[in-house]
Amino acid sequence: MTVHSSSFKNKLLLGGCLGLLLFYGWVTWAALHPQVSEDYRSYFIDKTSDCWRQGNAPALFFGGQMPFGFKKPAHTCEILTEGWDVTGTPWGSWSTQHHATLRLPLESDAHRMATLRFYVIGFDPWGLQRTSIFVGAQYETDWYPDHQKVSTFDVTLPIAQALEVIDIHFLFAEPVSMKWLGQATNNLDHRLLGMGLLGIDWINPNSAEFGH
């Protein structure tokens, strides 16, 4: 009877140990493979993004301005959704990839078209840069911003509802590597400079104030 009792206790102890090993193995696997969003992973785990969505991006309205830069209200990941330095500078943000996307909320109850004026800085030391503009999947035009100078470009967008959210994509032909410029922060810094974004105005194209 004592032998059987001892054997039962040993099996129970072994089973408990195996159960704990399986539990800790599952915890370890879950820690290495967290089921989280890409934004969460990039910001909190991989540390490849400085972006965490806050849910309070302001909308641009007729006659309004949307400046970008450190601590500016619109300088959020909800608007600078992809390909921008979201840490920002006092004046705005540089694009950091071959392409970049803005997700613009436009608010109006009276207008069916919005003419937006973009204030940008080119980075084109060799005169090779071309920036192609797409609204959604529709190609619009090409921009050629002056190297390290402020340029303005207008884009007219249709508005179908009181709050319209429109994706504007920028494709850069010849962005310049930060490493080539000696400005990379570390060996893993693969950022590319293409265009600096200062701000956007929703203008009245018929006003003499905004004429070219």
Domain extents for the chain?
2-33, 57-203
CB 88 within 8 A of CB 175: no
Higher pLDDT, 11 or 65: 65
Q: How confident is the model at residue 145 (pLDDT cuts 50, 70, 90)?
A: very high
DSSP letter at 59? Answer: P
Q: How confident is the model at residue 23 (pLDDT cuts 50, 70, 90)?
A: low
CB 79 within 8 A of CB 104: yes
Q: Which CATH superfamily is domain 57-203 in?
A: Galactose-binding domain-like (2.60.120.260)
Give Cα 193 to chain centroid, integer Å.
15
Query: Which residues, including other chains, have CB under 8 Å from residue 199's CB and lie 6 or more apart?
Result: 65, 66, 67, 68, 92, 118, 119
CB 164 within 8 A of CB 105: yes
Cα separation, 145 vs 121, in Å, equals 6
Q: How confident is the model at residue 124 (pLDDT cuts 50, 70, 90)?
A: confident
Cα separation, 62 vs 204, in Å, equals 8
CB 193 within 8 A of CB 126: no
27-85 pLDDT tens trace = 555 555 666 555 556 555 655 555 655 556 889 999 999 999 988 999 988 899 999 98
For residue 143, the SS3 value is strand
* Mean pLDDT for all residues in the chain: 81
CB 157 within 8 A of CB 138: no
Question: Poorest-confidence range of 35-49, 105-119, 125-139?
Answer: 35-49
